[in-house]
A and B are shown apart, each in its own frame.
Chain A
Amino acid sequence: MSTIKKAEREVDELLVLQRQRQEEVGRLDRERQTVQARLVEIESRIKSAQSESARLAEEVSKTASEIEKLQIRVKEKKSVVTSLQDTLEKEIRRVQLICPDKGENP
């Protein structure tokens, strides 16, 4: 009788072990699905960010080119204005020579 009871206890223990293993399998399966879903989401975000980054890089290049053109125009204008200013300063000095007593500091 004791041999049968021993065998029954062994079967019970194995049943408990089997249930524990099945639960562990279920948990791991769920974890894998969650991580997998997260991975899919991250990959989608990477694609989106890469696309946005490429668009912005193109814009950077375009605006840099515009800046370069504007700088050239500003340089040209500055040169014209400086030349005009020089002329004006010469005229101021000429006027000051004409009216030395009043021209400089009325």
Chain B
Amino acid sequence: MNTADKLNQLKAQASSLSTACSDLDKRIAALTLSVDDVKKKLADSTAQLASVESERDANAAQVKSNADRIASLNDLLSSLEREEVSLPSEIVRAKGPRRGLLACEVSEEEQVVLLAVRVKPVIRPAKNYNMAYPDAQDAFPPIPQDETLPGIDAEPPVWAFADCRHGEAVIVDEAKLEGLGHPVFLVGDIHGDESSLRSILEKVFAVDPNSIVVFLGDLFDRGPKSMEAIRLFLWAAKTHPGQFLWLRGNHDEALVFEENTEKFVSGVSPHEFADWLCEHPECKDEGRAICTLVRTLPSVAVLGSVWASHGGVLHEDTCKDFHGFADLTPEMKIDFVWSRMKDTPSKMPNRSHKGAEVGYKQAVEFVQKLKEFEAVAIRHVVCAHQHEHKDGVGYLPFAKCFSKGALTCQCVCSFRDTEWDFWPVILQWRPDGAPRPIRFRGN
């Protein structure tokens, strides 16, 4: 091939390549347009998807909210239906004087709250209050006599609801209590009445050998046998692990062993037990063990909707700073043990003394706080401490202060006070309603 031919061939190839490149450029332009178009559609579709998904999620949330609302309304309706059935019988009961009454209040928030108004405590025949006492010997191991009761050491028993302890408080939910399958009793001030304690133990374990007993403190002072009462109580608690709980009372808390003088002293009056311990040096170790043990006790038990403490609830000056049991001030701990629930509180807290009085208004405020910070709804307050037994039954219902509210308040005491001439009273927890008082009339 000569040079001219080769040149022509190369020119023809170059021309063909130029045409091919030009075609490819056109195709690239077309493809770019197409890709841009699909990308735009994709962006539109993505936005549409977000909008549709958002609408779907909103509908799903609304469905859930409606379902919750339906459940809440159904609960409310059930409560109202129960009240509709129960109220007529209460009205019939109310027609006679000296009868217990039970009323119902419907709040603005559609919460149904029960209100117990005991116009006059029912004085029923003794047999109604003496629990069945069938085979106590089988149900409960024989209780040692006073002289053979084991001594006290600082090793604490396995307390009931130990897994529910939150600092100062033991919080047990309603479902757990109902699921126990055994009765739960609340016992107020024993105050050295070892004989009453013995009767109470015999009887609650005759009802059910697995009964759970919550003591609201003040095991010693006032009565004749303080040391025997504590020995008996701790014997029962150690031989029945997980069935006893001891909440700190003011007399329990006040007992101190002074290391420098080697004497027992108490910051409360009367304080016979501290004096007795000083007069009985052979019991010094037991006394010191009691002091150690008491300082490990909780002061509050929340049993479903029941608040139980020796004193009462917080006063308004401490209540405003309450943010749950995890963060209690010393004043709050004092209130739980030392305050007194009163129909008409007159002793306001000035914090120079410990025994402030708490009324209905403060109790309601505190219950609201508990609901907010501990998610527990309290309907019944049980306390001990003040044993003001004007009618000889050892049961103070606080009728006046709680007659317009959503709370019941019961004060329980279990020592046989010869001055007032009354018999011990204990309470039995129940899932719906205020704890049931059980009065002892002797064997």
The answer to whether B67 and A106 touch across the interface, beta carbons within 8 angstroms, is no
Cβ-based interface call for B296 (8 A): no
Please tell me if the beta carbons of A88 and B42 are within 8 angstroms of each other in the complex: no
* Smallest CB gap from B73: residue in A: A70
A98, B120: Cα distance in complex, Å: 12
Known: A25-B24, A77-B84, A99-B120. A10 touches B14 (CB 8 A): yes
Complex Cα distance A71/B69, Å? 10
Does B206 touch A at the CB level, under 8 Å? no
Q: A39-B42, A77-B77, A92-B117 are in contact. Are A56 and B59 (CB under 8 A)?
A: yes
- Residue B164 lies at the interface, judged by CB distance under 8 Å to chain A: no
**What residues on A are CB-neighbors of B27 within 8 Å?**
21, 25
B3 adjacent to A1 (CB under 8 Å):
yes
- Give A104 to B119 CA distance when docked, in angstroms: 6
B54-92: CB near A (< 8 Å → 1, else 0) gives 011001101100110110011011001101100110110
User: Once bound together, how far apart are the Cα atoms of A73 and B106, in whole Å?
Assistant: 15
Docked-complex contact A46 and B35, CB < 8 angstroms: no
Question: Are A73's CB and B35's CB within 8 A?
Answer: no
Whether A78 contacts B106 by the Cβ 8 Å rule is yes
Do residues B87 and A103 form an inter-chain contact, with CB atoms below 8 A? no
Cα distance, A57 to B56, chains bound together (Å):
8
Question: Does chain A have a CB within 8 A of B320?
Answer: no
Residue of A nearest to B22 (CB): A21
Chain A proximity of B3: nearest CB distance (Å): 6
- Closest residue of B by beta carbon distance from A65: B66
User: Which of B21, B69, B95, B96 is close to A67, meaning CB atoms less than 8 Å apart?
Assistant: B69
Q: B1-36 vs A: 1/0 string, CB under 8 Å?
A: 001001100110110011011001101100110110
Contact residues of A between 1 and 53, Cβ < 8 Å to B: 1, 3-4, 7-8, 10-11, 14-15, 17-18, 21-22, 24-25, 28-29, 31-32, 35-36, 38-39, 42-43, 45-46, 49-50, 52-53
The B113-128 residues at the A interface (CB cut-off 8 A) are: 117-121
Report whether B104 and A49 are in contact in the complex, using a CB–CB cutoff of 8 Å.
no
Within the complex, what minimum Cβ distance (angstroms) separates A29 from chain B? 6
Chain A neighbourhood of B74, CB < 8 A: 70
- A22, A66, A70, A95 — which one has the most chain B CB atoms within 10 A of its CB? A95
Residues of A within 8 A of B110 (CB): 74
Using A64-B66, A66-B70, A103-B120 as known contacts, say yes or no to A95 and B94 having CB atoms under 8 A apart. Answer: yes
Bound CA–CA A64/B59 (angstroms):
12
Dominant secondary structure of chain B at its interface with chain A: helix
> B9 to nearest A CB, angstroms?
9
Q: Which chain B residue lies CB-closest to A66? A: B70
B192 CB–A CB distance under 8 Å? no
B63 touches A63 (CB 8 A): yes
Choice from A35, A82, A87 contacting B42 with Cβ under 8 Å: A35
B91 & A102 in contact (Cβ 8 Å cutoff): no
Residues of B within 8 A of A80 (CB): 80, 84
B137 adjacent to chain A (CB < 8 Å) = no
Q: With A and B bound together, what is the CA distance between A28 and B31 in angstroms?
A: 6
Q: Which of B95, B97, B101 has the most CB of A within 10 A?
A: B97
Q: Are B32 and A104 in contact (CB under 8 A)?
A: no
- List the 5 shortest-distance A-B pairs measured between CB atoms, nearest first: A56-B59, A21-B24, A63-B66, A14-B17, A77-B80
The answer to whether B343 has its CB under 8 Å from any CB of chain A is yes
| B351 CB within 8 Å of chain A | no
Distance between B397 CB and nearest chain A CB, rounded to angstroms = 7
Other A-B pairs beyond A91-B95, A99-B98, A102-B98, 11, CB < 8 Å: A3-B7, A4-B3, A25-B27, A32-B35, A39-B38, A49-B53, A63-B63, A63-B67, A70-B73, A77-B84, A81-B104
CB nearest to A83 among chain B residues? B87
A82 CB, nearest partner CB in chain B, Å = 6
List the one stretch of B44-52, B211-219, B226-234, B327-335 in contact with chain A.
Answer: B44-52
User: Once bound together, how far apart are the Cα atoms of A105 and B399, in whole Å?
Assistant: 6
Kindly identify which residue among A4, A22, A82, A84 contacts B88, using a CB–CB cutoff of 8 Å: A84
Contacts of B361 in A (CB 8 A): none
B83 surroundings in chain A (CB, below 8 A): 81, 84
Whether A46 lies near B97 (C-beta < 8 A) is: no
The 8 listed contacts between A and B (C-beta, < 8 Å) are A11-B13, A18-B21, A28-B31, A63-B66, A84-B83, A85-B105, A95-B96, A104-B399
